[in-house]
Structure 1
């Protein structure tokens, strides 16, 4: 899965579509941009678009669909939003009701899909620079936490900033700031390094989403804004129906990570 040909991204999507792939997508289809998803009824789409614009660190938009469309221009050939993610989350009035591998059965013609940049995309650059990424080393999903930092509200959407965490030695953390700062379309530089309690995280060993990873002696936790943030905002808004990706289970696009570097 580490080919950089366009077919490798499509292969991941086809594996998800056929049910072969149901797990996290970290380190799959190296070189290709991965995307968070937020899918909402048309009558809430404008408020959510403003929410993304007001909160670009956790919600960097890569694309927005037409109402009812099952694809997004520029993100992939033969892409089907309803089937090409390894696992989804279906919400009804803010309550999680299902985590299927296919949402064809609940699809509606008024649904609008927002594709949001994912930090998995900058991990390739970290690894290339010799910066270890612990959840990849340990074969786990990245740990994610609800922080005490509030997002800028828009209409019915508001809530806490969700952050992803990667433990690093201080010298690697400095490199990570420099490297990920070149990728604003996939969350950019970290929002915090060090003491988790400073951003309202009381138990670093128990993430709200994803899996716990080992923090070794001498390492510090490094936190990035995370594309799971919209899930907290959507849960609070309680739309009649909404669909998101399951944390860590991304849409792999045909866009190249190198194209996002500034």
Structure 2
């Protein structure tokens, strides 16, 4: 099914229904413009307090939007009636720091002790960038956003530690200040860039080889601009070695009922 076909369903509930029924399993960039998307991390209750502290210490990559009660799969604040076990196009299963699989639902893995964390996603501010005349290359090229593991360490909490992950969007040099201003208004969706310019300063050797997502074209007169990314939690999963961590697959986000503007301070 094409992106245009999914958009034809209407709003987030229709898109989540298409995802739940397996009619959309791809990345969610560009889906339901005007509505916020969210990263998902699910952990056993024994690790929840440490991860909550990790998010509080690292609000740039992990801007918390909601934490569910143990055992609950319904994000009542962001999308009442939704099901976090089925309403993400593709999940990732980590056990003891190893990636075990990428299913399209986690119904058979859900337990009464699992706590879900939802935090903002940079897909949320892309509509505002476009409205400000700033191009978004991965949307133009029909790709997933490129993501890179950096040499910057997050502030650890309990067992959770690891490197910052960033997304990259190539921006015409003259539009970089505008891109910074626009995205700074969205602290609930990672906010302003963490770095502009030389990828080597973040330990990124080759832009054409992202660690997650797809490479995009960087044209003459453009500068790579980097934003903190919620996939940081997955890099942390590899180092923390929690007995179980369920997440979204990179770029395959949870679509909420909240408007983009709800995550902005306009």
TM-score bracket relative to the smaller structure: over 0.9
Deviations 1:143-184 (A, max 9, x none): 000001110000000110000000011112111000000000
- Asked whether the equivalents of residues 147 and 212 of structure 2 are also in contact (C-alpha less than 8 Å), the reply is yes
> CA separation in 2, counterparts of 1:232 and 1:40?
15
Q: How does 1:152-191 map to 2 (within 5 A)?
A: 152-191=155-194
1:176-232 Cα deviation digits (max 9, x unpaired): 000000000000000000000011101111000000000001111000000000111
Q: Structure 1 regions of 5+ residues with no counterpart?
A: none
Match of 2:83 in 1: 80
Give, in whole Å, the separation in 2 of the partners of 1:196 and 1:137. Answer: 22
Q: 72, 80, 92: which is aligned to 1:89?
A: 92
Q: CA RMSD in A?
A: 1.2
2:225 to 202, 211, 222: 222
Pairwise mapping of residues 30-41 of structure 1 onto structure 2 (< 5 A)? 30-41=33-44
How high is the TM-score relative to the length of structure 2? Answer: 0.96
Q: Counterpart in 2 of 1:53?
A: 56
SS at the partner of 1:239? coil
The correspondence for 1:69, drawn from 60, 69, 72, is 72
Q: Where in structure 2 are the equivalents of 1:103-252 lying within 5 Å?
A: 103-252=106-255
Residue 77 of structure 1, CA deviation = 2.8
Instruction: Name the SS of the counterpart of 1:179 in structure 2.
Output: helix
Tell me if the contact between 2:7 and 2:15 (Cα under 8 Å) persists in the aligned partners.
no
Structure 2 CA distance, aligned partners of 1:2 and 1:176? 26
Give me the TM-score of the superposition, normalised by structure 1: 0.97
3-state SS of paired residue (2:49) = helix
Query: 5+ unaligned residues in a row in structure 2: which ranges?
Result: 1-5
Deviating runs (4+, > 4 A) in structure 1? none
| Aligned residue pairs, count | 260
Q: Secondary structure at the match of 1:77?
A: coil
Match of residue 256 from structure 2: 253
Alpha-carbon shift at residue 261 of structure 1 (Å): 1.2
SS in 1 for 2:75: coil
Whole-angstrom distance in 2 between the partners of 1:78 and 1:69: 11
What CA distance in whole angstroms lies between the structure 2 residues aligned with 1:136 and 1:159?
29
Task: Compute the displacement of 1:119 (Å).
Answer: 0.1
Aligned to 1:18: 21
Structure 1 residue 118 displacement after superposition? 0.1
Q: CA deviation at 1:108?
A: 1.1
The CA deviation at 1:237 is 1.1
